[in-house]
Amino acid sequence: MKNILEAPFMVEMIRTTTNMYNHGWDERNGGNISLLLDETVVQEYLNTDAVIRTIPTGFKAPELEGKYFIVTGTGKYFKNVQYAPDVNLGVIRITDGGETAELLWGFTDGGKFTSEFPAHMMSHVARLKVDPANRVVMHCHPANLLAMTFVHSLDEREFTRTLWQMCTECIVVFPDGVNVLPWMLCGTNEIGEATAEKMKTARLVVWSLHGIYGAGKDLDETFGLIETAEKAAEIYMKIAHLPRVNTLTDEMMHQLEERFNVKGREGYLD
């Protein structure tokens, strides 16, 4: 077997969690990531017949039967992943129609996957139906997006339009816009179901007064989605109290659609 710590998915997971912590998005044990893995790749690094232990998931997801994920652990600090990945990360296989996770590697201190695991898995189901290339679900607490939910309308069209207007690249990077949930109790199946429903129409879902969920084809793309939205929110928070002399108009954004061969979400531009 190859050394799993040298696996490309492991290297990128460690780099991403470290980068997210350094960005200030994942204070203490805030935030979580799950990455769908190819079975053939996993088998290069692990004996997939050697199950360390089983962990109940508390939900059903038959669509994920037999699928492999690397996921961050509950109560774990992103800043520590680079120093002890085997404690803070786990590789699991979904079984029993989604009700059980078989631990194949990691969580060596007896821990388990993030408390937001239901929201992650339900979001994976939703995104895979929209785009089978979507393999990452990422949750974090970017300060400016969080702050924006305190002072801006939570109407999804208006929230999206404001972000699009802050940076020229925004409509190019997330033309599907941003969906928004009202405050809900985290770590429950209810917020997982609500997030998954929102994931059907956008790769970014803001949890009001809490943080954001992002989905994408790989860790770089998903990180970049959140990073771009957070930059836009930062600009908004800096200028929201000031008179706006200039802005990105709908006509400008239509030009961006044509130039970059993207299409903004239906009905979001005049």
Active-site positions?
Answer: 116
13: tokens are 């997971």
DSSP notation for 137-200: EEEE--HHHHHHHHHS---HHHHHHHHHHH-TTHHHH-TT-EEEE----TTSHHHHHHHHHHHT
Residue 99 buriedness (CB in 10 A; 0-12 / 13-18 / 19+): middle
Alpha carbon distance 202, 264 (integer Å): 11
158: tokens are 């208006």
Alpha carbon distance 45, 34 (integer Å): 18
Phi, psi of 252 (to 5 degrees): -60, -40
**Letter for the amino acid at 221?**
E
Alpha carbon distance 34, 138 (integer Å): 7
